[in-house]
């Protein structure tokens, strides 16, 4: 058996509340401020939470042929647009590649459900003739990866998982493994979410999972802060171009980072609350490090899940200590959802993209809005200003409803 295939990130595409594309996302990070605002997409007055991270600079026609864009809902538009950005960033012309060796893996929590909600209102008002004829093709989660495949002619492995807030990270992990297993040479992997519709939003409001800091939206998403009161819903997408390292080097591709390992476990405890002892989240991180062949002390930075919820943040802190021991206090950590909120199934992909950019620029972002750290969250949380940092390895956590835990380990692309 030969040496395991290595997988690198050669392209980044993003649609986020703080900015889109590589330049927009990076500029948004360097501003070091939140993009959370009062909701404009619909009237949120029925709910106790009335704030969100909205993408207000997205125009589908900038990325997708206009006639085709009209047949896609916002969720699928985000997926295709982020992929096109990533391919351009990777300087990769898929027409010159073997389509059977290119696949797409995506993640989402709600898929096209928000579009379905809108069409239901059309049905009530005007009957079947008022409904989008493409409804059946937009509401299923697989529309993300399938539309990417159709748009770019990728006939390799294809899947969209619906594993809640960990699904974007899972898609990247599964894309990584598809290349390692020699099922593909290039994988387009990430997550997309467009959940800002009354019923979708209200479902999370009903269970009191979201912040009600409506009078101060810029400071509502505050991971690890003692004053946090819930997450802030957001929309967005991110897609990474994953490539077998040898072919990427041979074509002179720009390399951001290497995907080294992936872990996936389940708490088997509760649909919304994390397992109090954090044991399965810790095992997830340990498994990712084992696959990466990286010792805990070699990790220099963690992009935490940091959802800004009362239970998740201290549980994640505890699980990190279980894995890293005394080194937990020596590594840097930040929760970037303070910037843009929680884009559910897209969050893990957005945060993987942030790790990729952090490697390239030698700078990691702060935990925005961290003013008074929770005493139970006593690690080096990078408050206030970002930090110049060039670690050998980074780890990114994504945890979701149903007790799902996913972790990704990234290494320097020039290693």
- Is 121 part of the annotated catalytic residue set? no
- Is 342 part of the annotated catalytic residue set? yes
Write phi, then psi, for 310 (nearest 5 degrees): -60, -40
User: In the chain, what is the greatest distance between 2 CA atoms, to the nearest angstrom?
Assistant: 64
Cα–Cα–Cα angle for 333, 397, 288, rounded to 5 degrees: 110
Q: For residue 388, how many other CB atoms are within 10 A of its CB?
A: 8
CA distance 192 to 356: 18
Say if residue 272 is exposed, middle or buried (CB neighbours under 10 Å; 0-12, 13-18, 19+): middle
Q: Which member of 146, 305, 355, 377 is catalytic?
A: 305
- Is 284 part of the annotated catalytic residue set? no
Residues in contact with 147: Cβ distance below 8 Å, sequence separation at least 6, in sequence order: 72, 76, 79, 80
- The alpha carbon dihedral of 165, 261, 99, 248 has a sign of positive
Q: Over the range 191-221, which residues count as b (16 or more CB within 10 Å of their CB) and which as e?
A: bbbbbbbbebbbebbeeebbbebeeebebbb
Q: Which member of 165, 200, 260, 355 is catalytic?
A: 165
The DSSP H or E segment spanning 153 is none
Q: Over the range 274-306, which residues count as b (16 or more CB within 10 Å of their CB) and which as e?
A: bbeebebbbbbbbbbbebbebebebbbbbbbbb
SS3 call for 293 = coil
Tokens encoding 46: 């029925």
The DSSP H or E segment spanning 194 is none
Tokens encoding 304: 């935490």
Any idea which residues carry the catalytic annotation?
165, 305, 342
């Amino acid at each position: 058996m030969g040496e395991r295939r290595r997988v690198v990130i050669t392209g980044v595409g993003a649609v986020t509340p703080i900015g889109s594309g590589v330049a927009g996302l990076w500029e948004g990070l360097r501003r070091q401020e939140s993009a959370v605002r009062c909701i404009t997409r619909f009237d949120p007055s029925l709910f106790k939470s009335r704030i969100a991270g909205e993408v207000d600079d997205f125009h589908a026609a900038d990325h997708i042929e206009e006639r085709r864009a009209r047949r896609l809902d916002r969720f699928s538009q985000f997926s295709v647009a982020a992929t096109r950005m990533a391919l351009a960033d990777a300087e990769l012309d898929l027409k010159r590649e073997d389509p059977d060796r290119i696949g797409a893996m995506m993640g989402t929590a709600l898929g096209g459900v928000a579009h379905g909600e809108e069409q239901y209102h059309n049905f009530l008002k005007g009957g079947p003739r008022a409904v989008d004829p493409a409804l059946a093709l937009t509401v299923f989660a697989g529309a993300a990866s399938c539309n990417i495949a159709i748009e770019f002619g990728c006939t390799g492995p294809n899947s969209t998982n619906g594993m809640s807030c960990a699904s974007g990270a899972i898609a990247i992990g599964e894309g990584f493994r598809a290349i390692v297993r020699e099922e593909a040479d290039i994988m387009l992997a990430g997550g997309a979410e467009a959940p800002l519709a009354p019923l979708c939003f209200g479902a999370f409001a009903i269970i009191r999972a979201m912040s009600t800091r409506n009078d101060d939206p810029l400071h509502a998403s505050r991971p690890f802060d003692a004053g946090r009161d819930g997450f802030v819903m957001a929309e967005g997408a991110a897609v990474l171009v994953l490539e077998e390292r040898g072919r990427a080097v041979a074509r002179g591709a720009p390399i951001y980072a290497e995907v080294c390992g992936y872990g996936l476990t389940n708490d088997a405890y509760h649909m919304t609350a994390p397992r109090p002892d954090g044991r399965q989240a810790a095992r997830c991180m340990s498994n990712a490090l084992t696959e990466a062949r990286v010792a805990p002390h070699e990790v220099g930075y963690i992009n935490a899940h940091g959802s800004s919820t009362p239970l998740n943040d201290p549980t994640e802190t505890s699980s990190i200590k279980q894995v890293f021991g005394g080194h937990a206090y020596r590594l840097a950590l930040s929760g970037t959802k303070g910037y843009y909120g929680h884009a559910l199934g897209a969050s893990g992909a957005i945060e993987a993209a942030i790790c990729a950019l952090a490697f390239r620029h030698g700078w990691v972002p702060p935990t925005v809005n961290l003013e008074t750290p929770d005493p139970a969250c006593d690690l080096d949380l990078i408050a206030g200003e970002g930090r110049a940092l060039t670690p050998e390895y980074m780890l990114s956590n994504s945890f979701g409803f149903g007790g799902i835990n996913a972790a990704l380990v990234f290494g320097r692309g020039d290693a």
